């Protein structure tokens, strides 16, 4: 992995981690377009730079993280389903990460769903209490995002709105839930692949986390404002167009597979 590739992937991660367009899917597509050779360090890099992105949530919402233990208890309850399923199906999920067609189809289907979300769930009460059952149900929605191209952000925000949270509250809880989920994934990947992180490439990992952190800070602020004003349709159409383009290219025999 070159410095340029590391920065590009980190920028993609920072922009897409909290948008309902699939950060994993976009990183896979970016790697394919860059013609990157996917070795063990590259795989570890794409997971561990998520730490930089989620750190931006802690910085932006630091007061919320100091509220009470109840806040953490609800996050833990929401985190449990993904932790359990991820532990059981980790190898299968990893195998899907190399399949661009899976990403393309999920982008398309998820985009169609986003076109109707605003009509289906119109609850706009900003003063809502997230209960433990609500947190658990959102946690199960998050499990759907283990399929590359679905988007963890999209799944959890839709799950929150299905539980009658406003778009803003659903998005913010999605951000908060990303912290334990992505921190656990990053820590697990780091422990599993630490041998592939050497003195020659650790600087790329540090730079990637810094870039992802800065870009994610900007993306979160922009996304909340945009979401409250315009809803999900723009993201839906973007996913549909991107998904269709990828499917057509793959059917025409264009090699978009990561190697």
Can you give the pLDDT at residue 258?
A: 47
Per-residue pLDDT of the chain (259 residues; tens, 9 = 90+): 888 989 999 999 999 888 888 887 788 788 878 887 777 778 788 888 888 888 999 999 888 888 888 989 999 999 999 888 877 766 666 665 667 788 889 899 999 999 988 788 766 555 677 889 999 999 999 888 888 888 888 899 888 888 888 888 888 899 899 888 888 877 777 777 667 777 778 889 899 999 999 999 999 888 888 887 888 889 999 999 989 988 998 888 776 654 3
In the numeric block, the tokens 């659903």 are attached to 170
Q: Hey, what are 11's tokens?
A: 């920028």
* C-beta neighbour count of 90 within 10 angstroms: 14
Question: Has residue 60 been placed in a domain?
Answer: yes
Question: Has residue 62 been placed in a domain?
Answer: yes
- Structural domains counted in the chain: 1
Q: Hey, what are 229's tokens?
A: 């004003």
Distance of CA 155 to the CA centre of its chain: 9
Question: Has residue 257 been placed in a domain?
Answer: no
Question: Has residue 19 been placed in a domain?
Answer: yes
Question: Has residue 256 been placed in a domain?
Answer: no
For the entire predicted model, the pTM comes to 0.81
Angle at which helix 40-48 crosses helix 50-60, to 10 degrees, equals 10
Helices (H), the chain: 3-16, 23-34, 40-48, 50-60, 69-96, 100-120, 132-144, 152-162, 167-193, 202-230, 233-251
Question: Has residue 259 been placed in a domain?
Answer: no
Question: Has residue 193 been placed in a domain?
Answer: yes
Can you give the pLDDT at residue 259?
A: 39
Q: Which domain holds residue 217?
A: 3-251
Question: Has residue 136 been placed in a domain?
Answer: yes
Per-residue exposure over 209-243, b if at least 16 CB sit within 10 Å of its own CB, e if not: bbbbbbbbbebbeebbeebeeebbeebbebbbebb
């Amino acid at each position: 992995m070159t410095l340029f590739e590391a920065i590009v992937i980190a920028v993609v991660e920072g922009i897409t981690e909290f948008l309902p367009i699939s950060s994993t899917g976009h990183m896979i597509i970016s790697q394919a377009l860059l013609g990157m050779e996917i070795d063990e360090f590259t795989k570890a890099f794409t997971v561990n730079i998520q730490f930089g992105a989620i750190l931006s949530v802690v910085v932006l919402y630091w007061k919320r993280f100091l509220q009470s233990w109840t806040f953490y208890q609800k996050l833990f309850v929401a985190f449990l389903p993904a932790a359990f399923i991820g532990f059981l199906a980790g190898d299968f999920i990893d195998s899907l990460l190399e399949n661009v067609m899976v990403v393309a189809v999920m982008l398309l289907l998820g985009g169609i769903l986003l076109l109707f979300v605003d009509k289906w769930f119109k609850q706009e009460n900003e003063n809502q209490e997230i209960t433990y059952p609500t947190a658990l149900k959102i946690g199960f929605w998050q499990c759907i995002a283990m399929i590359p191209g679905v988007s963890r952000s999209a799944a959890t925000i839709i799950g929150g709105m299905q539980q009658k949270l406003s778009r803003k509250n659903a998005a913010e809880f999605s951000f908060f839930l990303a912290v334990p989920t992505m921190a656990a994934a990053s820590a697990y990947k780091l422990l599993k692949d630490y041998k592939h992180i050497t003195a020659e490439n650790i600087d790329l990992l540090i730079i990637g986390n810094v870039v992802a952190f800065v870009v994610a800070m900007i993306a979160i602020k922009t996304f909340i404002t945009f979401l409250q004003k315009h809803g999900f349709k723009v993201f839906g159409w973007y996913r549909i167009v991107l998904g269709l383009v990828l499917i057509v290219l793959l059917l025409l025999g264009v090699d978009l597979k990561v190697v």
